[in-house]
Amino acid sequence: MSSVLSRSLVVALLAAGQLLAQAPPKGTQILRTSRILDGTGSTLTNTDIEVVDGRITALRPATGPLPANAIDLRRRTVLPGLIDTHVHLGWYVNDENRLHTDSDGDTPAEQAYHQAGNAWVTLRAGFTTVQSIGEADNDVLRTAIALGLIPGPRLITSLGSLNERTGGGSPDSLRAAVRRFKTAGADVIKIFASKSIRDGGEATMTDEQLAAACGESTTLGLRSVVHAHSAEAVQRAARNACTQVEHGVFTDDATRAMMVARGTFFDPQCGLVFHNYLDNKVRFEGIGNYNAVGFASMEKAIPLAEAGIRAASRTPGLKLVFGTDAVAGAHGRNAEELVCRVRRGGQSAMDAIVSATSRAAESLRLEKQIGRIAVGFNADIIATDGDPSTEIEATQRVVFVMRNGSVFRNESAGR
């Protein structure tokens, strides 16, 4: 599902001198708060957050009159910008009300605007960082967001993926493919090690292949994120030191124990991805494996997925991380997955929030920069109407979004 995003827009805006639109505001900003969920499971009360040059520079008791120009968030709950470690920002529904494909005739400009739109709705929903398990053109999107040409979440991307057939599938050719992604600027390596859930999910890559692909990623300093559904496929990923496993619908106790032992991050989905496909069936039906068998498989996966969240969130030491697998139709609805985690999967609301903040940051190796409200961290700060630690649905009512000190949404004044 690769698409071509024109570079001309970026080039034109660079020439027009718009390059630094994203620079953080000058001077000191103060956010006055009454309740902060700090991203580690702790709560801070009555605190002023000081932001300078896009970073949190001080947390101090909120006393005295409201400072001039302070942003008053006292009626809200404040938390770190949310992080989704698995989205597909290139996926969208086209003007024919169908999933966009390479052959639908959409122009590069149409594709670019849809990708920009996906980035904007995701940021508005309070997700200030995403990992797009995406296509080659995600690099232009990453640049456009980083330069402030368009609003969007901080974008981390694989620029494509490997599977058991890449370059013929020999260990050497898989290593070479990993090196090519690194050269192209990938932040992370995406590996398909099992079939799709719509095709049964059985293992497709051998231990030898995974050892080569994940090993080469590690050698180059990159993380490896592995799509795996069957227990065997998940075990092979954990055994061969891959960084993170996605999905894992058929994961069992022994497999979870292996991920704990190996320190593997685990990113199972609870429901948004399945419900989005089923609710939008008419937009996907007849494309690839989006057929009757595929939809039936996804319907059957829902109770398994919910039970999987229940088991994973009760497995001590398992590094459970948040990722939605948001595709066309699901962008901006990422918080529905948090609601599913808590209401259907039985995870505690605070654990779900930690999994989408400091734990997600750790999985991205950004734990010293994002995912917490603490001195020295990037000023990625959101506020919700209601307290998500007691009512997780509040994550669907984001009223304030700041990323790197720039405010992208502020409906906080209402009382």
* Residue ranges in contact with Zn ion by CB under 5 A: 133, 325
Q: How far is the CB of 374 from Zn ion (least distance, A)?
A: 31
Which of residues 226 and 312 has its CB atom nearest to Zn ion in the complex? 226
Q: Of 99 and 133, which has the nearer Cβ to Zn ion?
A: 133
For 55, residues 6+ apart whose C-beta sits below 8 A from its C-beta are: 376, 377, 378, 379, 405
Closest CB to Zn ion among residues 204, 412: 204
Shortest Cβ distance from residue 327 to Zn ion (Å)? Answer: 7
Report the nearest approach of Zn ion to the CB of residue 246 (Å).
7
Two structure tokens written together for 89 = 């920002």
What distance lies between CA 253 and its chain's CA centroid? 26
- Closest approach, Cβ 272 to Zn ion, in A, equals 12
Q: How far is the CB of 292 from Zn ion (least distance, A)?
A: 22
Backbone angles phi, psi at 42, to 5 degrees: -95, 160
- The phi, psi pair for 403, rounded to 5°, reads -130, 130
Measured from the CB atom, the residue of 234 and 394 that comes closer to Zn ion is: 234
The nearer residue to Zn ion, 86 or 409, going by C-beta atoms, is 86
- Read off the tokens for 334: 């990422």
Tell me the residue number closest to Zn ion, measured at CB.
Answer: 325
* Nearest distance in Å: CB 352, Zn ion: 20
Buried b (16+ CB within 10 A) or exposed e, 202-221: ebbbeeebbbbbbbbbbeee
- Tokens 């990623």 appear where? 217
Distance in Å, CB of 351 to Zn ion, minimum:
23
- Minimum Å gap between C-beta 247 and Zn ion is 8
- The span from the CA of 332 to the CA of 124, in Å, is 7
Give one word for 317, left, alpha or beta, with left for phi > 0 and alpha for psi -120 to 50: left
8 Å CB contact between 119 and 89: yes
CB of residue 158 vs Zn ion: minimum separation in angstroms? Answer: 10
- C-alpha neighbours within 13 Å on the C-beta side of residue 46: 5
Q: Which is nearer to Zn ion, 274 or 400 (CB)?
A: 274
| C-beta of 54 vs 329, nearer to Zn ion | 329
**Comparison of 86 and 154: residue with beta carbon closer to Zn ion:** 86
Looking at beta carbons only, is 306 or 325 nearer to Zn ion?
Answer: 325
Cβ atoms within 10 Å, residue 134: 29
DSSP labels, 204-245: -S-HHHHHHHHHHHHHTT-EEEEEE-SHHHHHHHHHTT-SEE
For residue 363, give every residue at least 6 positions away whose Cβ sits within 8 Å of its Cβ, in sequence order, or none.
85, 223, 243, 244, 265, 267, 319, 321
Q: To 5 degrees, how large is the angle CA 6–CA 9–CA 10?
A: 100
Length of the chain: 415
